[in-house]
Chains A and B, each alone.
Chain A
Amino acid sequence: MSGAGCGKEYGKFVKKSVPFFGWGVLCGLWVTLKNFITSYFRKPDEGGIFTVQYPEECLPDFEASRNFPFLVYDETPEKPRCVACGICERECPVKCIHVLMAKDENGKPLRRPAAFDIDYSLCMNCGNCEEVCPFNSIFMDHEHKIAAYDRKDLMRPMQKLLKSNSYFHSIRPRDAEAIDRAIKEAAEKKKAAVPAKPAPSPEAPKS
């Protein structure tokens, strides 16, 4: 009979001689019976039932959980935090972000995106875009009901990606607060550094 070599030290189950043939099976049946009954009374983390009737009920999300990125705007969707620097576009491992800088008539860049598309069908939910964005503009969402019949519908243009800061607060309160604080501090520092001029830039500076 085989059996792991240094098993004896590990548990009482190794090489324990069974009283009669079939004892192991009976013990197993006892375990399944016990589990069947106790699963109705115990809490999920002690062996109870986990099942959630999904479309009707949903488990609460963990704050850190991530699936697809979205863009944050501060007051109105016309004022996104994003300055179209294109860093996330460059660092996205699967290259599913496309950013186009807005320009005025003279061709001067306006430091806001004219177009910002993310192809959700390509995105691999890695969260790298959130990590590299220096303007605290792109974050990972908790929205997971995004199934679509057509691939086109997974191509998210800027209008669909932009979500308010209060939404960000509602899904990730801890992170949102920390980031708001960081932005405020940076703005104050900037003001202190240039006291003569009123700060014209609406964007959050590099943190």
Chain B
Amino acid sequence: MVSLFREKTQRADGQVLEINFGPQHPSTHGVFRLHTLVDGETIREVKPVMGYLHRNQEQISENLTYTGFIGFTDRMDYINAIPNNFSFVLAAEKLAGIEVPERADHIRIIMAELARIVNHMAVVGFLLNDLGAAFTPLLYAFRERELILDIFEDLTGSRMMCNYFRIGGVKSDLSEQHLATIKKMAARLPKFLDEFETLLTNNEILCMRCQNTGILSPETAVNSGITGPALRASGVNYDIRKTDRYSLYGRFDFKVPLGKTGDVYDRYYVRILEIRESLNILRQAVAALPRGEFINKKTAAFIRSPRNFKPPVGEAYARTESPKGELGFYILSDGTPQPWRCHARAPSLINLSALETMCVGQKIADMMIILGSIDIVLGETDR
């Protein structure tokens, strides 16, 4: 393969070294390659090389019904399937102009916030793993995550590939028993978070490694289209739950944690605070859960006969604040049961675009934690 850096390598005074991180590297969280140019230990250039996990999901959608494709959206961001379902069904509902019953909306929000907690715990755990705090924080986080995944399995049938949302609602109803488990968990998690923070937040080693590492200025963040916790850690107040107020997010009272410097530490800390805010939303949503239908009566039949769901000719874009950033689905319909085109705006892919800016000038050992702090998942990057 022709090197991207050949010229520069020759031009430099013999000090410059070309390194390939990945595709099989434990810290890249998937099959992903970082084509890196280092001068001693300092990074000169980074080029992310992706596409190793490409599965052609957008094209697959063109051969499937809308309901059939929901199961595939699970596989995009496989750490948290629910928000992907959410974006896709929102787009499909927008296209066909379908109303969602209130109960279904509440259930959706409960599930989406649970998924956010799962995601942020996994990210913080993996970030610490990349930092070299091998496994203890990850294990603590996974202990709690496991209990949330149990709720998912009990309700949706699967721990990670939930396939839970349907056009016009959700697949099955939340029972009193599920609610009790969720309430118990929402009561227990703050205690766990306090403990988790005692372990990490003030830890001198963590602070020294993470503070002032991989700084992303708000201007660069906005210009490169970064969204999600990575953007908010840079101090830009932009949360689609607040700006769009999609679904019922307008009804709930929650804060948007913002960072100051936009370094790795802020990105870590914003996530911890977001877990606390998610619990806040969760508590409100559980308390406000109304009785009623969990799926729109008119669309319930589409579960049994997905081919009858034929949205009118047109296009729709719906976006949600997925735990990784703005996740949007753009659907073009030609009036048949299959989407004519379905494009996913994956936050993981777009958030990668600022990786080089964050890495240049840093030490090579910090590259992995910078990558870990952006929180990418390759299933979504490559689709």
Contact = CB atoms under 8 A, between A and B. Distances in A.
Nearest to B255: A6
B336 interface: no
Interface in B285-313: 303-307
Interface string A104-145: 000000000000000000001111100110100000100000
B203 A25 contact: yes
A46 B211 contact: no
Given A62-B153, A62-B154, A5 B260 contact: yes
A64 B260 contact: no
A90 B255 CA distance: 46
B158 A124 contact: no
Contact of A7 (B263, B273, B306): B273
Given A4-B266, A5-B235, A132-B306, A22 B204 contact: yes
B258 interface: yes
Contact of B71 (A1, A16, A90, A93): A93
B265 interface: yes
B248 interface: no
A95 B200 CA distance: 47
Given A93-B64, A125-B161, A126-B161, A4 B72 contact: no
Contact of A4 (B150, B204, B212, B269): B269
Given A11-B194, A128-B71, A131-B304, A25 B263 contact: no
Interface residues of B, number: 63
Contacts of B153: 62, 64-65
B229 to A, nearest CB: 10
Contact of A28 (B147, B203, B261): B203
Nearest to B154: A62
Contacts of A128: 67-68, 71, 163, 306
Contacts, number: 142
A186 to B, nearest CB: 14
B205 interface: yes
Determine which residue in B140, B143, B156, B188 has the highest number of CB atoms from chain A within 10 A of its CB, and name it: B143
A90 to B, nearest CB: 8
B156 A64 contact: yes
Given A4-B266, A35-B140, A14 B201 contact: yes
A131 B171 CA distance: 10
Given A6-B257, A18-B202, A1 B276 contact: no
Closest 9 CB pairs of A and B: A24-B202, A126-B71, A2-B261, A66-B157, A24-B203, A93-B68, A4-B269, A13-B197, A31-B199
Given A3-B269, A62-B154, A64-B153, 8 more contacts: A4-B260, A7-B257, A11-B276, A13-B198, A46-B188, A64-B155, A127-B163, A128-B71
Interface of A: 1-7, 9-11, 13-14, 16, 18, 21-25, 27-28, 30-32, 35, 44-47, 50, 62-66, 90-91, 93, 124-128, 131-132, 134, 140
